[in-house]
Copies of this chain bind each other. A is one copy, B any other.
């Protein structure tokens, strides 16, 4: 396998984009990425999108976006694994460059959610429709079950859950691309509208529109093309049962642990080697479980770990410096790529006010459904 690097990135701000279509969002981000990478041609393109079909009634967006970007006839593949679609598109591009088939590959994620009449139902298509959704479960309810189990097994408190949102909003306030660029207090999080007990609305990621695009190249070419070269040293993916009730234990996320193990093995790294990490905080509880499965803190100890400030910028392991899905926004298919862009910015010293000092090795963890799919990447400064 060839070594693969990131040579450029671009994204739209994540927010409710009432005057931009899915095509517009993608093209905006893609032109920024192409400009950033200074490439004149691309050999292949991957698009992560959870459900352009249910959100905007359009499938087959690969060729559509090739056409609108103006990169005529380039092969394009849409990749889907619910909210992990973006990271899987990245992984596919990584594999294509690693194989030697193509040199310059565009990887992307895009979602236009606000044009959909019933986003909650469309999102529920990422759960087991026959065995969960049909009986009334939605994602806030399913993640609330995980939160309840975590509280029950490990004594995790409501305040610890809420602390995740406080920290992520604090980071989001420093991110000009975030949907919510403002801080929130612990009281505000705890006393906001209850969605599915114990999860209040300020512990749920929002509905967002947005696109994120990166350009990949083999190491030898990358070195000649830019001085901002970041190498992908680990890529791990795993799946778990689609229905939460089929798992032995619901306060754990096996696919997250396995995808991390696979990425650590490929990169020959351990949790303590990671300087900065973006995790999939679709709900506050998801971040707590994720940092346990990634090995940053022992099982059951994440609540206290976050409460004590270990995951803040300047802490032991800064988590979600971008603001996370909670504050940065969560246009589902775009999220995985946007996470990697945040790490790319951190590793190239371009994270502005959110810069983690001396960040050399970064990680991302992106998840679909209630952890039925998880994808982890490890990146290092060359």
Do A373 and B73 have beta carbons less than 8 Å apart? no
- Of B63, B127, B240, which contacts A73 at CB under 8 A? B240
Q: Which residue of B lies closest to A91 (CB)?
A: B77
- Of B56, B88, B99, which contacts A98 at CB under 8 A? B99
Query: Residues of B contacting A77 with CB < 8 Å?
Result: 79-81, 88, 91-92, 237
Say yes or no: is A28 at the interface (Cβ < 8 Å to chain B).
no
- Of the listed stretches A47-55, A162-170, A178-186, A285-293, chain B binds A47-55
Residue of A21, A73, A238 ringed by the most chain B CB atoms within 10 A: A73
CB distance from A28 to the nearest CB of B (A): 18
Do A75 and B237 have beta carbons less than 8 Å apart? yes
Say yes or no: is A29 at the interface (Cβ < 8 Å to chain B).
no
CB distance from A174 to the nearest CB of B (A): 33
A1 to B96, CA, bound (A): 10
If A53-B54, A79-B79 touch, whether A369 touches B60 (CB-CB below 8 Å) is yes
A258 to B73, CA, bound (A): 8
Residue of A51, A56, A59, A126 ringed by the most chain B CB atoms within 10 A: A59
Say yes or no: is A67 at the interface (Cβ < 8 Å to chain B).
yes
Copies per assembly: 2
Say yes or no: is A377 at the interface (Cβ < 8 Å to chain B).
no
Against B, the Cβ 8 Å flags (1 = close, 0 = not) of A48-92 are 001101101111101110110000011111111110000010011
Say yes or no: is A372 at the interface (Cβ < 8 Å to chain B).
yes
Query: Residues of B contacting A250 with CB < 8 Å?
Result: none
* Main SS at interface, chain A: mixed
CB distance from A201 to the nearest CB of B (A): 24
Query: Residues of B contacting A372 with CB < 8 Å?
Result: 60, 63-64, 67
If A96-B95, A238-B73 touch, whether A67 touches B369 (CB-CB below 8 Å) is no
Do B59 and A51 have beta carbons less than 8 Å apart? yes
- For chain A, give the interface size range: 35 or more
Residue of A51, A81, A128 ringed by the most chain B CB atoms within 10 A: A81
Do A60 and B80 have beta carbons less than 8 Å apart? yes
If A59-B50, A95-B101, A369-B60 touch, whether A239 touches B75 (CB-CB below 8 Å) is yes
Query: Residues of B contacting A67 with CB < 8 Å?
Result: 239-242, 246, 372
A95 to B75, CA, bound (A): 14
Do A1 and B237 have beta carbons less than 8 Å apart? no
A246 to B64, CA, bound (A): 11
Do A60 and B101 have beta carbons less than 8 Å apart? no
Say yes or no: is A312 at the interface (Cβ < 8 Å to chain B).
no
A-B contact pairs, 23 of them (CB 8 A): A51-B53, A53-B53, A58-B129, A58-B130, A59-B125, A60-B125, A60-B127, A60-B242, A60-B373, A62-B81, A62-B239, A64-B242, A67-B239, A73-B238, A73-B254, A75-B238, A77-B81, A77-B88, A77-B237, A78-B79, A80-B80, A95-B99, A99-B100
